Structure 1
Amino acid sequence: MNTFVIEGGRPLSGTITVAGNKNAALPMLAATLLTDEPVRLENVPDIRDVRTMLALLDDLGVAVEATGKNRWTLAARAVRHTAPPDELAQEMRASFVLVGPLLARYGRAEMPTPGGDRIGRRPLDTHIAAFEALGATVEVRPNRYILQAPGGLRGADIFLDEMSVMATENAIMAASLAAGTSVLRNAASEPHVQDLCHLIVRMGGQIEGIGTNTLCIEGQSQLHGTGATVGPDYLEVGSFIALAAMTGGHLLIQQARPEEHRVTAVAYGRLGVRWECRSDDIFVPADQALIVEDGLHDAIPKIHDAPWPGFPADLTSIALVLATQARGTILIHEWMYENRLYWVDRLISMGGRVIVCDPHRAVVVGPARLYGQVVTSPDIRAGMALLIAALAAEGRSLIHNAQQIDRGYENIDARLRALGAQIERV
Structure 2
Amino acid sequence: MNAFEIIGGKPLKGEIIPQGAKNEALQILSAVLLTEEPMTISNIPDIKDVNKLIDLLAALGVKIDRIDKDTYVFEAKDINIEYFQSSEFREKGGGLRGSIMIVGPLLARFGKAAIPKPGGDKIGRRRLDTHFLGFEKLGAKFVYDASTHFFNVDATELKGNYILLDEASVTGTANIVMAAVLAKGTTTIYNAACEPYLQQLCKMLNRMGAKISGIGSNLLTIEGVQRLGGTSHRMLPDMIEIGSFIGLAAMTGSEITIKDVCFQELGVIPSVFSRLGIQFELRGDDIFIPAQDSYEIDTFIDGSILTISDAPWPGFTPDLLSIILVVATQAKGNVLIHQKMFESRLFFVDKLIDMGAQIILCDPHRATVIGMNKSHSLRGIEMTSPDIRAGVSLLIAALSAKGKSVIHNIEQIERGYQDIEERLRKLGADIKRVDVEPRGH
User: TM-score, length-normalised on structure 2?
Assistant: 0.94
Residue identity opposite 1:240 in structure 2? F
- The 8 Å contact of residues 273 and 288 in structure 1, kept in 2 or not, is answered as no
The answer for the alignment partner of 1:45 in structure 2 is: 45
The answer for the alignment partner of 1:24 in structure 2 is: 24
C-alpha displacement of 1:294 = 2.8
Aligned length: 425
Matches within 5 A, 1:145-294: 145-150=151-156, 152-294=157-299
- The 8 Å contact of residues 6 and 431 in structure 2, kept in 1 or not, is answered as yes
The answer for the alignment partner of 2:142 in structure 1 is: 138
Unaligned ranges ≥5, structure 1: none
For residues 357 and 62 of structure 1, what CA distance do their matches in structure 2 show? 48
Residue identity opposite 2:49 in structure 1? D
Matches within 5 A, 1:41-190: 41-81=41-81, 83=84, 85-142=89-146, 143-150=149-156, 152-190=157-195
The answer for the alignment partner of 2:438 in structure 1 is: none
For residues 107 and 293 of structure 2, what CA distance do their matches in structure 1 show? 51
SS in 1 for 2:206: helix
- The 8 Å contact of residues 32 and 75 in structure 2, kept in 1 or not, is answered as yes
- The 8 Å contact of residues 23 and 192 in structure 1, kept in 2 or not, is answered as yes
- The 8 Å contact of residues 42 and 70 in structure 2, kept in 1 or not, is answered as yes
Q: Tell which deviates more after alignment, 298-307 or 108-117.
A: 298-307
C-alpha displacement of 1:147 = 0.5
- The 8 Å contact of residues 21 and 233 in structure 1, kept in 2 or not, is answered as yes
SS in 2 for 1:85: helix
1:382 to 379, 390, 408: 390
For residues 42 and 250 of structure 1, what CA distance do their matches in structure 2 show? 29
Residue identity opposite 1:374 in structure 2? E
SS in 2 for 1:196: helix
For residues 79-135 of structure 1, the C-alpha deviation after alignment (integer angstroms, 9 at most, x for no partner) is: 112627122222221110111001111111111111111111111111111000000
Residue identity opposite 1:35 in structure 2? T
For residues 189 and 51 of structure 1, what CA distance do their matches in structure 2 show? 25
C-alpha displacement of 1:298 = 4.0
Residue identity opposite 2:62 in structure 1? V
Residue identity opposite 2:72 in structure 1? W
- The 8 Å contact of residues 351 and 383 in structure 2, kept in 1 or not, is answered as yes
- The 8 Å contact of residues 99 and 111 in structure 1, kept in 2 or not, is answered as yes
- The 8 Å contact of residues 305 and 336 in structure 2, kept in 1 or not, is answered as yes
- The 8 Å contact of residues 92 and 117 in structure 1, kept in 2 or not, is answered as no
- The 8 Å contact of residues 355 and 363 in structure 1, kept in 2 or not, is answered as yes
Residue identity opposite 2:168 in structure 1? M
For residues 345-365 of structure 1, the C-alpha deviation after alignment (integer angstroms, 9 at most, x for no partner) is: 111111111110000000001
For residues 5-45 of structure 1, the C-alpha deviation after alignment (integer angstroms, 9 at most, x for no partner) is: 11110111111111100111111110000001110101001
Residue identity opposite 2:342 in structure 1? Y
Unaligned ranges ≥5, structure 2: 435-441
Q: Tell which deviates more after alignment, 260-269 or 377-386.
A: 260-269
The answer for the alignment partner of 1:402 in structure 2 is: 410
For residues 284-318 of structure 1, the C-alpha deviation after alignment (integer angstroms, 9 at most, x for no partner) is: 11125211223344422111111111111000000
Residue identity opposite 1:372 in structure 2? G
- The 8 Å contact of residues 377 and 400 in structure 2, kept in 1 or not, is answered as no
C-alpha displacement of 1:419 = 0.4
Residue identity opposite 1:264 in structure 2? I
The answer for the alignment partner of 2:348 in structure 1 is: 343
CA RMSD of aligned residues (A): 1.2
For residues 194 and 2 of structure 2, what CA distance do their matches in structure 1 show? 35
Residue identity opposite 1:378 in structure 2? P
C-alpha displacement of 1:260 = 2.9
Q: List structure 1 segments (4+ residues) > 4 angstroms apart after TM superposition.
A: none
- The 8 Å contact of residues 41 and 229 in structure 1, kept in 2 or not, is answered as yes
Residue identity opposite 1:19 in structure 2? Q
Q: Tell which deviates more after alignment, 198-207 or 257-266.
A: 257-266
SS in 1 for 2:104: helix
C-alpha displacement of 1:262 = 4.2
Residue identity opposite 1:389 in structure 2? A
Q: Tell which deviates more after alignment, 67-76 or 265-274.
A: 265-274
For residues 259 and 74 of structure 1, what CA distance do their matches in structure 2 show? 29
SS in 1 for 2:345: coil
SS in 2 for 1:129: helix
For residues 365 and 90 of structure 1, what CA distance do their matches in structure 2 show? 40
C-alpha displacement of 1:388 = 0.5
Q: 2:425 matched to 1:417?
A: yes
User: TM-score, length-normalised on structure 1?
Assistant: 0.98
- The 8 Å contact of residues 307 and 336 in structure 2, kept in 1 or not, is answered as yes
- The 8 Å contact of residues 13 and 250 in structure 1, kept in 2 or not, is answered as yes
